[in-house]
Structure 1
Amino acid sequence: MRVRQIITTARAPLAVAAVLLAAGAGLPATAAADPPPASGWRDPHDPDRTVVSDPAQYVNPFVGTKPGDTDFGNGGGGGNTFPGATSPLGMVQWSPDTVTYQHGGYYYDDQRIRGFSLTHLSGAGCGDYGNIPFLPFLGDTPVGHEAFSHAHESAEPDAYGVTFDNGLRTELTTTQRSGAARISYPAGQAASLTVDAGRAFNKAGGHVEIGTDTISGYSDGGGFCGSGNRYRVYFTARFDHPFTRSGVVRDGGLDTTRRSATGGSDGIAPQPARTAEAQSRLQHGPARPDRPVHPDAPDEGSGARAMVSFAPGSTVTVRVGLSFTSAAGAAANLDAEQGGAAFDRIREAGRAAWNGMLGRIAVGGGTEQQRRTFYSALYHSLLHPSVLSDVDGRYPGMDGKVHRTEDGRVQYADFSGWDVYRSQIQLLALVAPDEASDIAQSVVNQGAQGGYFDRWTLANGGTGVMIGDPLPTIASEIHAFGGTRFDAEALLRQSLTGRHNDLERPGHPAYDSKGYLPVGTNGEWGPASGTLEYGSADFALSQLADRLGDRTDHDALLRASANWRNLFNPANGYVQPRRADGSWPKFDPSSGDQYAEGDGAQYTWMVPYNQRGLFDAMGGNAQVVDRLDFFFQKLNAGPTAPHAYLGNEPSLNTPWAYDYAGRPDRTADVVRRAVTTVFSDTPQGEVGNDDLGEMSSWAVWGSLGLYPLVPGRADLVLASPLFPHTTITRGNGVRIDLVAPQASADARYVHGLTVNGVPSNRPWVDRSLVNHGGRLRFRLADTADPSWGRDAADAPPSYDVGPDHPVAGTVTEPGGHCLTAAPAVRLADCGSGADQHWQLAGDGTVRSVGGCLTGTGTAGELRMRGCDGTGEQQWWPRRDGALVSPPTGRCLAAGADGLRLAACDGSSDQRWQLPDAAAWT
């Protein structure tokens, strides 16, 4: 029987092994008499609290296994997910692989299975893993694949089953570090199985050892996105039936004299250019023939393929342990997590573990389809990162050495950094802060062992894939969301060092000296987008430094986060590529040149921590709203269009931008349209690769009507809830209730909001909701309210570099003369004229009559120019009295030859008396 479960209290996600311990005592994992309606119910003793029974029933693991829209060349037009069995954040992902390859291993339109491999990535835009496929078959001769029908296939959290057309049935389930398969062979033919240790999605090698009822060995793989990463995974498989025949497959037959073999195979996964090096080869090297997007795998296996047989008609259970550390670790993981538990008990415990995690967000009301879309997205959001360490804490480090975690801690792997820092890691930290703390410590460990933070790490290796500096951002966000049980001080120290490491931040000398990555920056793919990514990382780190009490590094990092201004062109209102000499090349907003997987129209909005500064530079709210309305005429237009591309990451923050422009009704509309049309509960329910849960997490946040827009902070901007009742029960006892009785697909506009009973017109909530819990009660309708959230004072906060409130007065040099704005920037005797009245503004500008003080690095020129939001008008008043021009790195100096920009040297002619300095330093 299936164990049903009611989630009633906050607790850690159930590990399958822990549930099995309860089962060993003869007790069900969780018992419930007369469970409430599965769609979610409200506690009569606590009307705002929603409870859901067995949320796993709403999960469709097939979502994302079939393209849902056009393949725009960024990993496919589908989710690239896999439907097989796995635990939350599990090491083992035991899933079917079809003959027709799709990243993730499974292509829904192909009903031929070539094996059930033990390792997978959910939603990546490149291929890796797919190690050690098991393939049951009938007869004495190995086969390359078996045919099946979707009518005889099923998948649910931690359970997969399929009956081949020949009547052979395979069922799969897992614990975190092990798996179990039950194979039911029909009578009348030989019951056989192959296990291939030398086969994976990419070029692989391996070794296999065959016993009387065991198969063990290891598999080597790597080559993610064509990079040089390599890993080794060990396995131990134990069968409950002895082999009647066994050996190594050679030349299509069985060599029964061999008990071991070593061999390898070529990979089949296309590897698109996702690194700067690969992009350079693609653009400047000889043309290479394109590989098909969905190639077919050859039927032959590797030279390390074992074959075993059983008595006809047998039902065989095989248990498999994995380890990235050692053969002994694989066996120990299997023993610790399964023991002697029956297959059905393992499967029930796995479902209970998933219910323990999924039930932390309990939705009530809505349609069946909406609940299925929601919980399928939540499920896919919680598959990665993946457990790397064994039950004894041992794991292979980024330095190739074996390390051990502290007792009770877990090391995680598989960080899709460029993707998941946007919303997946925050969702994981929201529901599971303890696990998130271990994930943050895993980031710290990776940096310490590897000497830098890689952008996209797989197993215990870096790949250099994508752009930016996302891993420190991930850890900072976990810290902001309450996952503080890690060495945050070490993270900050390592991150500050990494900002000057070529491996971590290609192009950092230019970024540090010029304030942007110029066109043609060596080692950088998409310098314009890379500048924005570095800025987001710097901002997230500035917030971590602030929480740790480090004001000096906070100030410097916050200043660096304003570097987007150096690529903002006031002539056209776009963040665009710029040459090293400061000139602007010819620019087309719909061109992807100098951007990664997007274009200027899409990336210009990617200043999530300072939307106010960006919008002011664009000309104000009215112009911004018009541009956004045009932008969202299409929701998934691809990477070279003037419209949104919600099938990929760079556009994900933009639907929420309306909140900052006084139009939260437009945010509510676009988010609801995206949630209900871009995502669904079918195999084609995603329009772009899921990227280890990032796209799914966006659908979850969108359905909640909340979003963690600002990197490194736990503030949330608002749309509106899709469900009438939602209870979020965090793993640390904090509870959040979202109540929206009128919510529906159409009723999306906020007409009223109370936060803990207090009326609010703000389309955002501060970090106290995440950290301490609370209740949001929405009043919704299907028409927009012209007044709610429109007042500029109610807009979400933007984080700029100037004082919180503008300060004004004179700017005086040590000799007693005053900075004067007209008729030119100069020093003059102090008087009472308006041209000596200066305002230090919140956007980092120094303003007087004639506009903003502007400095250029070409000849140290100073002049007044209309305020335009560019980097040349940024000034950094330091505590020692210096006034620094960040893009030039020079200081405002007063000398006998007049005013100039000079190398900062701490001399007296660079120390200014500034108005009300205490208010902003």
Structure 2
Amino acid sequence: MIDNVDPFIGVDQTDLPEQSGLAATWWWPKPQVGNTHPGATFPLGMVSACAYSGGYPTGYGNFDLSTEGLPPSLPRAADAVETGQRASGFTHFQQSGTGAIRKYYNYFRVTPMLEPLDVLGRDWGISDEEATPGYYAATLDNGVRAEITVGPKSAVHRYTFPEHHDARVVVDMSMGGLAIPYGATVPLRARLESVQPGVAQGEIVVEGAPLALHIECDAESWRQMLWYDRRLMPGGTRLDLDHIRPTTLRPFGLMWAGPAVAGQTVEVRIGFSLRGVDQARANLRRDCDDRSPAFDTRRERTRESWRERLDAIRIETSDEDRRTVFATALYHSLIKPCFAADESPFWPSKGPWVFDVSTMWDIYRTQLPLLTALAPERSVELANALLTVCEQEGNLPIGYRMARGSDRFGRQGSALAHTLLADICQLGLPGMDWDWALVHMQTDLRRIYGEDFLQQGYAHPISHTLDLAFGYWCTRHVATLVEDHDLAAEYEQLATRWVNAYDPTTGLLKDSTFYEGTRHNYSFRIQHDMEGRIALAGGDERFVSMLDEFFGYGADAVVQPGLAPGSEEMAAGYALGRFEGLNNEPDMDAPWAYYYAGRPDRTAEVVHAVIHQQFGTGRGGLPGNDDSGGLSSWYVWASLGLFPVAGQNIFLIHPPSFRYASMPMARGTLTIDTSGFDEPTPDGPVRYVQAVSFNGVPVTTSWMSGTELHEGGRLHISLGTEPSEWGRAERPPSFRPLPSPADTDSMQEAP
């Protein structure tokens, strides 16, 4: 599978074949760009490294800040080449597929130069780009070939120079962020010192986080110098800077310089840590032994780590493009979050620490369930890291970066980490202290909008009412496990307050503000009481009719927003109340809402259109932001014929797009095979489930418990070209306790 990965998928604006059928009716409001990068990464590792142009939001590419429509290009100098990629060097700690997350990394820019230090920061054209999991390479138009690989907490650069009398490798420690307004990250404090020839170390404090590096360079005959404000510091071995402000910042760093013969290689090895230079050096030694050069060894070790992860899932298809899309989606699903055990800079104890949870509402539906299946021990590590953040900082994070204080992202979601904890609890995975977890889950439910929910029975933005009600339902599982039955009963009642979010006259959410969407996008999410949700909408027939309208059945094709769409155009698009395809994460689970009304055939049609029309090969192969693997992991699950209902420990079964697949689950290997399968095409017939068996026993329901599937076994799905009666009679489970009198009062009073 590793040889099929194309890390360039998603780095450019969306470029897919013209949509047809249902897909042509879906309107995409969010940026039509994947926002991925092709840089070197390690599976769930701390470090990434890539060419840096200042492009939004990863530092790679040609695009400026964008929030809707096609992304605009970065402004370039008059003599800049308007086509092709540009780079001013190579940086570390990139985001992966995110949209706006306020701040950006791209620390420690390394630039191979033949030019004077005065021009540091200018762009060079880059060509001959190459990328595979764990490796990135490009040639600058000054003739230098750059190659980068990474380990879990390190990066190794290798530069091949042309003949030149004064070549150099320059490390800029002052640089971070993006080339967009307010996109720079200014270090607050910094120190840098030469330790011995070929060895230096330093630390910068950025957004309150101390980021240290230990750096080694094997250009033994070259001069090693510190520099400040693009001027060399002859004889200087140490640089200390305190109280840096945007108005006082001057570039600073270190440099190796000397004559190069044609084809000469220079290797730069960097260890990183958030706990000082000694730990950064230890991390480098752990990732790269003392032998020099280390590049090829580190590259192969990282490749093997990726091979182990990517070969875990096996698929059978004769379509090599589809194999590439699937392999790349799996790759993108395993880049984030960044696991950095024993690296928290904010508390002294050892243990799990995770950053770049960017962001929970992007990943809780699909990426975290995939992580739980493929690497359950990592899922438990993530859960413990999130609980430690809550213990130390006061809340379970919705977004968490390498910065002091978690990002709260108050408008987007509440209580979403509870879904991961509920899944782990229901699966019985080892390694959790559930009494400790329950304390923090309870505390988090009361933060910010949680008090409104308790006092009024609802909270605005109204989508938080759904989040919090589900958070209480998830926490109820943990309370039951630790035998706090009174608390479990209390939370059962609080979980019924989801109904306060809806207007019974329309069957949709009440008027409120909605982040990146409308009431329609948030009204069809899968809840814990879908039976009650459908009853509120007027029953199965009415609910299916609402879904059909939402998914564009019988609707005309739409025109997607272009470059810099106007407010009237966007308002008209939102007024459609239409499914946004996989361009927007609130819609990720909506296609499966049909299951709860007995219409799995409709889901098959919608999912078929998404899989085969909204994902493709090439740099424009994604329909929108990959969102830290949230979008890609959706594709992985949907292609395999399963959809995890996060927090509810069930999987919905639908037609797979591969004849055969196998994947590890938390406790065993699951194989998914089919009969009646034909290789699908965008305009070809939809396949519908006719019958299902598991380990030879018929499955008459459209769902299976996660506990059962995670044990592994053989799932056989019989397919046909016409809808069947399978899955229509018995619906997926709904949680429906009777509301308490107090909740009944709050329902009547909620506006």
Amino acid at match of 1:143: L
SS of residue in 1 equivalent to 2:330: helix
What is the aligned counterpart of 1:885 among 720, 742, 746?
Answer: 742
**Residue 705 of structure 1 pairs with residue 641 of structure 2:** yes
Cα deviation for residue 462 of structure 1 reads 0.7
Alpha carbons of 1:412 and 1:598: their partners in 2 closer, same or farther (altered >3 Å)?
A: same
Question: Which residues of 2 match residues 681-720 of structure 1 at below 5 A?
Answer: 681-709=617-645, 711-720=646-655
What is the aligned counterpart of 1:123 among 56, 79, 97?
Answer: 97
Amino acid at match of 1:478: I
What is the aligned counterpart of 2:457 among 515, 532, 538?
Answer: 515
Alpha carbons of 1:449 and 1:776: their partners in 2 closer, same or farther (altered >3 Å)?
A: same
Alignment match, 2:58? 104
**Residue 486 of structure 1 pairs with residue 438 of structure 2:** no
SS of residue in 2 equivalent to 1:457: coil
**Residue 437 of structure 1 pairs with residue 380 of structure 2:** yes
RMSD: 2.8
Structure with max Cα Rg: 1
Question: Which residues of 2 match residues 172-571 of structure 1 at below 5 A?
Answer: 172-201=148-177, 202-205=184-187, 206-210=190-194, 211-222=196-207, 230-242=208-220, 244-261=222-239, 302-313=250-261, 314-340=264-290, 342-389=294-341, 393-396=342-345, 400-405=346-351, 410-415=352-357, 416-459=359-402, 461-465=405-409, 466-481=412-427, 483-500=429-446, 505-518=447-460, 527-571=461-505
Cα deviation for residue 722 of structure 1 reads 1.0
SS of residue in 2 equivalent to 1:247: strand
Alignment match, 2:578? 643
Q: Structure 1 stretch 410-419 or stretch 363-372: which is displaced more?
A: 410-419
Checking the alignment, whether the CA contact within 8 Å between 2:418 and 2:647 is kept in structure 1 is: no
Checking the alignment, whether the CA contact within 8 Å between 1:384 and 1:692 is kept in structure 2 is: yes
Return 5+ residue gaps in structure 2 as ranges: 17-26, 63-82, 178-183, 562-572
**Residue 770 of structure 1 pairs with residue 722 of structure 2:** no
Checking the alignment, whether the CA contact within 8 Å between 1:536 and 1:607 is kept in structure 2 is: no
Cα deviation for residue 483 of structure 1 reads 3.7
Checking the alignment, whether the CA contact within 8 Å between 1:97 and 1:115 is kept in structure 2 is: yes
SS of residue in 1 equivalent to 2:191: strand
**Greater RCO (Cα-Cα under 8 Å, separation 6 or more):** 2
Cα deviation for residue 554 of structure 1 reads 2.6
Cα deviation for residue 774 of structure 1 reads 1.7
Amino acid at match of 1:610: D
Cα deviation for residue 262 of structure 1 reads 5.1
Aligned equivalents of 1:239, 1:365: Cα separation in 2: 45
Checking the alignment, whether the CA contact within 8 Å between 2:274 and 2:343 is kept in structure 1 is: no
Alignment match, 2:5? 59
Checking the alignment, whether the CA contact within 8 Å between 1:193 and 1:307 is kept in structure 2 is: yes
Cα deviation for residue 617 of structure 1 reads 1.1
Checking the alignment, whether the CA contact within 8 Å between 1:532 and 1:607 is kept in structure 2 is: no
Identity %: 28
Checking the alignment, whether the CA contact within 8 Å between 1:86 and 1:158 is kept in structure 2 is: yes
SS of residue in 2 equivalent to 1:691: coil
Q: Which has the higher helix share?
A: 2
Q: Structure 1 stretch 694-703 or stretch 310-319: which is displaced more?
A: 310-319
Aligned equivalents of 2:14, 2:338: Cα separation in 1: 26
Alignment match, 1:82? 37
Cα deviation for residue 195 of structure 1 reads 0.9
Alpha carbons of 1:626 and 1:189: their partners in 2 closer, same or farther (altered >3 Å)?
A: farther
Alpha carbons of 1:597 and 1:387: their partners in 2 closer, same or farther (altered >3 Å)?
A: same
Checking the alignment, whether the CA contact within 8 Å between 1:597 and 1:639 is kept in structure 2 is: no
Aligned equivalents of 1:266, 1:481: Cα separation in 2: 50
Alpha carbons of 1:344 and 1:261: their partners in 2 closer, same or farther (altered >3 Å)?
A: same
Aligned residue pair count: 676
Cα deviation for residue 447 of structure 1 reads 1.1
Cα deviation for residue 79 of structure 1 reads 2.1
Alpha carbons of 1:221 and 1:686: their partners in 2 closer, same or farther (altered >3 Å)?
A: farther
Aligned equivalents of 2:97, 2:250: Cα separation in 1: 26
1:817-850 deviation per Cα after TM superposition (whole angstroms, max 9, x unaligned)? xxxxxxxxxxxxxxxxxxxxxxxxxxx2xxxxxx
Amino acid at match of 2:336: H
Alpha carbons of 1:507 and 1:73: their partners in 2 closer, same or farther (altered >3 Å)?
A: farther
What is the aligned counterpart of 2:87 among 107, 110, 113?
Answer: 113
What is the aligned counterpart of 1:170 among 137, 146, 151?
Answer: 146
Aligned equivalents of 2:443, 2:231: Cα separation in 1: 57
SS of residue in 2 equivalent to 1:800: coil
Alignment match, 1:665? 601
Alpha carbons of 1:507 and 1:149: their partners in 2 closer, same or farther (altered >3 Å)?
A: closer
Return 5+ residue gaps in structure 1 as ranges: 1-54, 223-229, 268-299, 519-526, 578-592, 802-843, 845-874, 877-883, 892-900, 902-921
Alignment match, 2:541? 622
Aligned equivalents of 1:129, 1:696: Cα separation in 2: 23
Cα deviation for residue 449 of structure 1 reads 1.2
Checking the alignment, whether the CA contact within 8 Å between 2:499 and 2:747 is kept in structure 1 is: no
What is the aligned counterpart of 2:726 among 760, 782, 788?
Answer: 788
**Residue 728 of structure 1 pairs with residue 663 of structure 2:** yes
1:707-748 deviation per Cα after TM superposition (whole angstroms, max 9, x unaligned)? 112x32321012211111111124x55110100251532453
SS of residue in 2 equivalent to 1:754: strand
Checking the alignment, whether the CA contact within 8 Å between 1:751 and 1:788 is kept in structure 2 is: yes
Alignment match, 1:915? none
Amino acid at match of 2:305: A
SS of residue in 1 equivalent to 2:271: strand
Alpha carbons of 1:481 and 1:311: their partners in 2 closer, same or farther (altered >3 Å)?
A: farther
Amino acid at match of 1:552: D
Checking the alignment, whether the CA contact within 8 Å between 1:136 and 1:194 is kept in structure 2 is: yes
**Residue 144 of structure 1 pairs with residue 144 of structure 2:** no
SS of residue in 1 equivalent to 2:260: coil
Q: Structure 1 stretch 721-730 or stretch 635-644: which is displaced more?
A: 635-644
Checking the alignment, whether the CA contact within 8 Å between 1:135 and 1:195 is kept in structure 2 is: yes
Checking the alignment, whether the CA contact within 8 Å between 2:386 and 2:397 is kept in structure 1 is: no
Cα deviation for residue 63 of structure 1 reads 1.8
Cα deviation for residue 890 of structure 1 reads 12
1:36-80 deviation per Cα after TM superposition (whole angstroms, max 9, x unaligned)? xxxxxxxxxxxxxxxxxxx1111111222112279x998733222
Cα deviation for residue 243 of structure 1 reads 5.6
Cα deviation for residue 552 of structure 1 reads 2.6
Q: Structure 1 stretch 118-127 or stretch 664-673: which is displaced more?
A: 118-127
1:209-249 deviation per Cα after TM superposition (whole angstroms, max 9, x unaligned)? 23521232123333xxxxxxx32211111112226234344
Amino acid at match of 1:795: R
Aligned equivalents of 1:324, 1:74: Cα separation in 2: 38
Aligned equivalents of 1:414, 1:770: Cα separation in 2: 29
1:631-686 deviation per Cα after TM superposition (whole angstroms, max 9, x unaligned)? 11279897664011231221111011111111111111111211222222322222
Alignment match, 1:291? none
Alignment match, 1:806? none
TM-score by length of 1: 0.70
TM-score by length of 2: 0.85
Alpha carbons of 1:627 and 1:552: their partners in 2 closer, same or farther (altered >3 Å)?
A: same
